[in-house]
Amino acid sequence: MKQVKLAVIGLGYIGRCHLEKIAMVGNIEIVAVCSRRKQHAQEIAAKYNCRAFTDYRKLLASKVSDAVLIATPHYSHTAIGIDALKAGCHVLVEKPISVHKADCQKLIAAHTNQNQVFAAMFNQRTLGAYKKIKSMIDGGELGKLMRVNWIITDWFRTDAYYSSGSWRATWVGEGGGVLLNQCPHQLDLLQWLCGMPSKVAGFCGLGKHHDIEVEDEVTAYLEFPNGATGVFIASTGEAPGTNRLEICGEKGKVVLEGENLRFSRNEIPCSQFQKTSKEPMAKPRVSEIDIDIEVTSHEDQRAEIIKNFANAILNGEKLIAPAAEGINSVELANAILYSSLTQKPVQLPLNAQTYEAKLQELINNP
Ligand SMILES: NC(=O)c1ccc[n+]([C@@H]2O[C@H](COP(=O)([O-])OP(=O)(O)OC[C@H]3O[C@@H](n4cnc5c(N)ncnc54)[C@H](O)[C@@H]3O)[C@@H](O)[C@H]2O)c1
C-alpha cells in the first residue's frame, strides 16, 4: 500500500494524541517527530521508530517527510506552515490556523502549489449531527435562515489547565482565549453551516473567571447578509455548561443539544403562513422529527481528518476542512474581541491590519 511519510511538529498534548491515532491510520508512516526539547523528541522518536528533530527547519531541509502535521502553539502555525509549504510539503495544521487575520492571509498566500494538500484540524466537521444539519441547510429543508443561537459554555477549564503551559492565556503567547483556543471549532461550524455574518457586536470578559489576561467569557450578537441574526455565547468558567445549537429557518428549526437532534418542521413556511392565515393568533402546524445521529469521540474525529488528509494526498479525495477556510473562524474570533475592546459593532470583513495593531497594544499592555 502507498503511504504518506508524515512528520509531527510539536509533541505536547495534541501532538502526542495525534501520534497514537496516526499509528492506527493505515496509509500513513510516521517518519519523524520534532520537539525543541532533545530528550523529549528522542524518547517519542524511539517509541514510533522514527527520526528525532529539535528544529523544524532542519526537519524540512532533510526532506525525510512529504507531509507535516503542525501541533505547536497557535502563533507558530503561521511561520511553520509557510516554511513547510515553501519546502514543498503537504500540511495539516491544527486549529486555529493562525492567531489573527493578517497572519491567516500570509499563511494561505504561501499555498501557491495546488498539488500540495493543505488542510486544517477542524475535527468537529466529521460529526454526524453537523453533517446532517449542513445537508439540511444546503438542501433547502430549513428554507431561508432567520436565526442561529449557539450556547457553548461547556468548555470549562481549571486554573491548572491555564498554568499547564507558559504560552497559554497570554496575549503574547496565545493571542486570545476561549474564542481562539476552544471555540475555533464552533466558529468554524457556524460559518460552515450559516455562512459568514456581515456584522458582529461582542461583549467579552477578560480574565473574568480565571487569573488570566485573555477572554474567558463571550456573548456576541451576529447579523447575516440576508438579515438573519444570531447570538453566540461561550465560557470556560461555567460548569456544568451547555452546548446547544438552534438554527431557525422559515421552514422550521433544528435544535442540537448534547446527543439529541430534533427538526421541528413547519408544514407551511412561517413567512407564507403569516401572510395567508386568516386567524390572528394561529401558527403553522409542526411535525417533530427526532434524528438519529452517530456520536464519535474527539480522538476518532481527529483520526478521520488525518485519514482524509492522507487520502487527499494519495488519491485526490476532497478535503473535509481545507486550511484556507480556517481564516473565517479566526476573523470571527478577532472581530468579536475587537468589537468588545472598542465597544462598537464591527462590519465584516474585518480590517486585518487594524486588528493586528490592536492585538499588539494588548501584547504591549497586557
Ligand atoms: N483539534 C483539537 O481538538 C485540538 C485540541 C487541543 C489542542 N489543539 C491545538 O493544538 C495546538 C497545540 O496545543 P497543545 O494543547 O498540544 O499545546 P501544548 O503546549 O501541550 O504542546 C505544544 C508543544 O509544541 C512545542 N513547540 C512549540 N514551538 C515549537 C517549535 N517551533 N518546534 C517544535 N515544537 C514546538 C512545545 O514545546 C509543546 O511541547 C494549539 O494550536 C491548539 O489549539 C487542537
194-213: pLDDT as tens digits = 999 999 999 999 999 999 99
- Per-domain residue ranges of the chain: 4-123+299-322, 125-296+328-364
- φ, ψ dihedrals at 135, nearest 5°: -70, -30
**CA of 223 relative to ligand 1 center, distance in Å:** 33
pLDDT at 94: 98
Rounded distance between C-alpha atoms, residue 254 and residue 249, angstroms: 9
The reply to whether 4-123+299-322 and 125-296+328-364 are identical in fold is: no
pLDDT at 366: 87
- In 110-183, alpha helices (H): 128-138, 159-162
Q: How wide is the angle at C-alpha 24 spanned by C-alphas 21 and 25, nearest 5°?
A: 90
pLDDT at 1: 67
Indicate whether residue 328 lines ligand 1 (CB < 6 A).
Answer: no
Among 13, 93, 155, the mutation site with the greatest number of ligand 1 atoms within 8 A of its Cβ is: 13
Q: Are the C-beta atoms of 178 and 216 separated by less than 8 Å?
A: yes
Among 94, 166, 168, the mutation site with the greatest number of ligand 1 atoms within 8 A of its Cβ is: 94
145-185: pLDDT as tens digits = 999 999 999 999 999 999 999 999 999 999 999 999 999 99
**Which one of 3.40.50.10680, 3.30.360.10, 3.40.50.1820, 3.20.20.120 gives the CATH number of domain 125-296+328-364?**
3.30.360.10
Residue 267: pLDDT over 80: yes
The pTM assigned to this predicted structure is: 0.98
Which CA distances in Å does 53 have to 48, 121, 213, 230, 244? 13, 23, 33, 46, 43
For residues 233-250, average pLDDT: 98
Look at the alpha carbons of 22, 23, 27, 32 in this order and tell me if their dihedral is positive or negative.
positive
240 upstream amide cis, omega within 30 of 0: yes
Question: What's the chain's length in residues?
Answer: 366
Q: Are the C-beta atoms of 276 and 295 separated by less than 8 Å?
A: no
Rounded distance between C-alpha atoms, residue 203 and residue 210, angstroms: 17
86-135: pLDDT as tens digits = 999 999 999 999 999 999 999 999 999 999 999 999 999 999 999 999 99
**CA of 308 relative to ligand 1 center, distance in Å:** 21
280-300: pLDDT as tens digits = 999 999 999 999 998 899 999
Quickly count: other Cβ atoms within 10 Å of residue 152's Cβ. 23
Class level of CATH domain 4-123+299-322: alpha beta
* DSSP bridge pairs for 29: 5
62-94: pLDDT as tens digits = 999 999 999 999 999 999 999 999 999 999 999
Indicate whether residue 173 lines ligand 1 (CB < 6 A).
Answer: no
Indicate whether residue 11 lines ligand 1 (CB < 6 A).
Answer: yes
**CA of 77 relative to ligand 1 center, distance in Å:** 10
